[in-house]
Amino acid sequence: MTTDADNKDDKKPAAPKKPPASPTRRLAVAAVSAALAAVMIVLTNVLPLRVTLLMFAAVCYYIAFEKSGTVYGLLSIAASVLIAFFTGQISSAFILTCIIFAPYSFLAYLMRNLYYTRRAHLAVRAAVVAVFAALVFAALYLLVNAAAVTIAFDLASLASRLGAVPLAVLFIILSVVFDVVFTQVAIRLSKLIK
């Protein structure tokens, strides 16, 4: 008959658990992420790399979510949007951040365990991103048509030339491609931060 003492020798030692980050560290990561994201949003008013800078702002939000948790991630988004609002103007980059990039970073955080390298994960993640992109396109289209807001390009004239449905399909396809790139960049940058 074996005892518990005999079974302890047969088991592999458990990997040491990573201690949870302290509230101070989580707040610091969220604050730095918010500051960097705010700088990216403000820089879009000066530099022509609008989507690239907004993508890096979304990566900052994603890192805040991953390293600090949901609450600090949401606080990071709120802080950076408020900083961008009070240091600049309500620009198209500000509107795109509020409608597309900030909600997308939270969605990407929720889907962080779905990888494009696995078929089942690929289908689910691409479908979720496609639905999100369709909803965002509908919101942008309604915003542009109802409020006569110009968003870095004339969405209404593009829709009248191409048609709203083909433009929406193109937007959805580009959103899935964006998600693939975003996922790779976010994973690599997140691993650099301990």
- Per residue in 41-92, pLDDT tens? 888 888 877 788 888 999 999 999 999 999 999 999 999 988 888 887 777 7
Q: Which domain holds residue 177?
A: 22-192
pLDDT-derived band of residue 127, with 50, 70 and 90 as boundaries? very high
Q: Could you tell me what percent of the chain has a pLDDT over 90?
A: 32
pLDDT-derived band of residue 12, with 50, 70 and 90 as boundaries? low
Does a structural domain hold residue 102?
Answer: yes
Does a structural domain hold residue 128?
Answer: yes
**CA–CA dist 42, 93 (Å, integer):** 8
pLDDT score at 150: 57
Burial 96-111 (b: 16+ CB within 10 A, else e): bbbbbbbbbbbbbbeb
Q: Is the pLDDT confidence value at 167 over 90?
A: no
φ/ψ bin of 151: left (φ > 0), alpha (ψ from -120 to 50), beta (otherwise): beta
Signed CA dihedral, 70, 112, 190, 16: sign only: positive
pLDDT score at 149: 58
pLDDT score at 92: 76
Does a structural domain hold residue 78?
Answer: yes
Does a structural domain hold residue 183?
Answer: yes
Q: How many domains does the chain have?
A: 1
pLDDT score at 48: 76
pTM: 0.80
